[in-house]
Amino acid sequence: MHDERLKRCPFCDGPCKTIQGSADKAVWAHGKFWRVYCVRCQARQLFHRSEASAIGAWNHRVQEQQP
């Protein structure tokens, strides 16, 4: 199931979801994190402190410049 707040995967156009998790303090000093991942190809992003931050980062796409 695709989360409608998210753009589709930039690599395979697959559906994406947000997940919340926790990491050891040695890996992620803040403990809990949010990230977006693609259900089809398993592309993932780095950890974010909030769901809103993870969604914003995932949805940001760089526009190619025309020569």
Task: DSSP for the chain, please give it.
Answer: ---TTSPPPTTT---EEEEEEE--TTT-TTSEEEEEEETTT--B---BSSHHHHHHHHH--PPPPP-
C-alpha angle with apex 7: 9 to 38, nearest 5 degrees? 35
C-alpha angle with apex 57: 36 to 40, nearest 5 degrees? 30
pLDDT of res. 67: 72
Q: What is the pLDDT of residues 22-67, one digit of tens each?
A: 887 777 777 788 999 999 999 999 989 999 999 999 999 888 777 7
pLDDT of res. 1: 65
Q: Has this prediction a pTM greater than 0.75?
A: yes
